[in-house]
């Protein structure tokens, strides 16, 4: 990946002005353009960790995220209706505008990441769920657990229990029961699809909204930004030997940041990201795409990626 790929072929920010556009929202990774009934989500090449957007963009990361999400949204639409209408560009998804729920449904099949950090520090209660004694990092849990978080527009998402969600009236009990049912069904489907590719779906998160009163899956699913995967081959041997698991996720980025003294806390500086490190992250994302979907990743090598996105979205909107 030469200099051209790290300068010309990245989407760090977008500032489009489409016909009939009603609003614009810049998320950590996605730029969201609103229309009367539709949302146009541009998956940028920004990367975030610990709820902080890192200074360097990662070539092809947005394309990877967008295309993995579209793959899994299409594969799971029989389980729960979802927001996706079209993918007019490698970096763009167009979908239905939804009234979103203020919680994210995090589901965990293994003790990893945030759950392990809590457990290692002595915590046995996570979002109202009691974890059994005697577990090691990356052990399989007795059954998948749901550990929701509040959805923060700024700063950190916060753990919250089912009881607290209902007590605060964030979601009605009847709807929350439906969200739990869909969450576990999606996780079971993702687990099965991962197994077909020689992977273990460790944990992930789902976001939901409503369209005309119907619960609808929104945003992305089963991507490296929202999910953690282990390689199935050698998992049991590594656990038995107390070795780290071989994983496909952006946890390696978090680990690099932690090793370099950054966890998103006040006063901490984001470490310098070298060209080599940026290239390595890009290659890991592409590897993840191919491993998770079973498809070959085709890099879009447009000379002007922003012009390509603008043209493809404009053409799509003109056909509506």
Report the C-alpha gap between 140 and 229 in whole angstroms.
13
Give pTM, 2 decimals.
0.89
Per-residue pLDDT of 206-231, as tens digits, reads 999 999 999 999 999 998 778 999 99
What's the topology of domain 14-99+260-298?
A: Phosphorylase Kinase; domain 1 (3.30.200)
pLDDT band with cut points at 50, 70 and 90 for residue 49 = confident
Question: Lowest-pLDDT range, 1-15, 49-63, 73-87?
Answer: 1-15
95: helix, strand or coil: strand
pLDDT at 308 over 90: yes
Q: State the pLDDT at residue 199.
A: 95
Closest CA to 227 of 193, 244, 203: 203
For residues 94-100, average pLDDT: 96
Report the C-alpha gap between 199 and 222 in whole angstroms.
12
Q: State the pLDDT at residue 153.
A: 62
Q: State the pLDDT at residue 254.
A: 87
Work out the mean pLDDT of the chain and round it to a whole number.
Answer: 93
For residues 31-53, average pLDDT: 94
Sequence spans of domains, the chain: 14-99+260-298, 100-248
Report the C-alpha gap between 75 and 83 in whole angstroms.
13
Per-residue pLDDT of 100-143, as tens digits, reads 999 999 999 999 999 999 999 999 999 999 999 999 999 999 99
Exposure string (b/e) for 217-241, b if CB count within 10 Å is 16 or more? bbbbbbbbbbbbbbbeeebeebbee
pLDDT at 98 over 70: yes
Q: What is the percentage of the chain residues whose pLDDT exceeds 70?
A: 96
11: helix, strand or coil: coil
Q: State the pLDDT at residue 2.
A: 43
Which CATH number applies to 100-248: 3.30.70.260, 2.60.120.10, 2.60.40.3880, 3.30.470.20? Answer: 3.30.470.20
pLDDT at 7 over 60: no
pLDDT at 316 over 70: yes
pLDDT at 5 over 80: no
């Amino acid at each position: 990946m030469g200099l051209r790929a790290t300068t010309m072929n990245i989407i760090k920010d977008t500032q489009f002005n489409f016909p009939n556009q009603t609003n614009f929202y810049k998320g950590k990774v996605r730029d969201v353009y609103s229309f009367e009934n539709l949302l146009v989500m541009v998956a940028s090449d920004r990367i975030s960790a610990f709820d902080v957007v890192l200074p360097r963009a990662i070539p092809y990361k947005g394309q990877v995220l967008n295309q993995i999400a579209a793959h899994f949204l299409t594969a799971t639409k029989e389980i729960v209706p979802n927001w996706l209408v079209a993918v007019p560009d490698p970096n763009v998804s167009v979908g239905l505008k939804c009234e979103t729920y203020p919680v994210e449904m995090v589901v965990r099949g293994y003790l990893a990441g945030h759950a392990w950090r809590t457990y290692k520090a002595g915590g046995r209660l996570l979002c109202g769920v009691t974890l059994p004694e005697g577990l090691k990092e990356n052990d399989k849990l007795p059954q998948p657990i749901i550990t929701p978080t509040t959805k923060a527009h700024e700063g950190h998402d916060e753990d919250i229990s089912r009881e607290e969600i209902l007590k605060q009236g964030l979601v009605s009990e009847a709807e929350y029961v439906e969200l739990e049912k869909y969450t576990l069904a999606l996780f079971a489907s993702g687990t099965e699809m991962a197994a077909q590719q020689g992977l273990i779906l460790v944990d992930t998160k789902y976001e939901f909204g409503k369209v005309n009163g119907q619960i609808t899956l929104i945003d992305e699913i089963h991507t490296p930004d929202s999910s953690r995967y282990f390689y199935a081959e050698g998992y049991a041997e590594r656990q038995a030997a107390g070795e780290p698991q071989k994983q496909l996720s952006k946890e390696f980025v978090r680990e690099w940041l932690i090793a370099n003294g950054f966890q998103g806390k006040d006063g901490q500086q984001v470490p310098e990201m070298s060209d080599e490190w940026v290239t390595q992250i890009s290659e890991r994302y592409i590897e993840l795409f191919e491993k998770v979907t079973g498809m070959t990743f085709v890099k879009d090598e447009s000379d002007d990626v922003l012009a390509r996105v603008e043209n493809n979205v404009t053409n799509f909107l003109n056909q509506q």
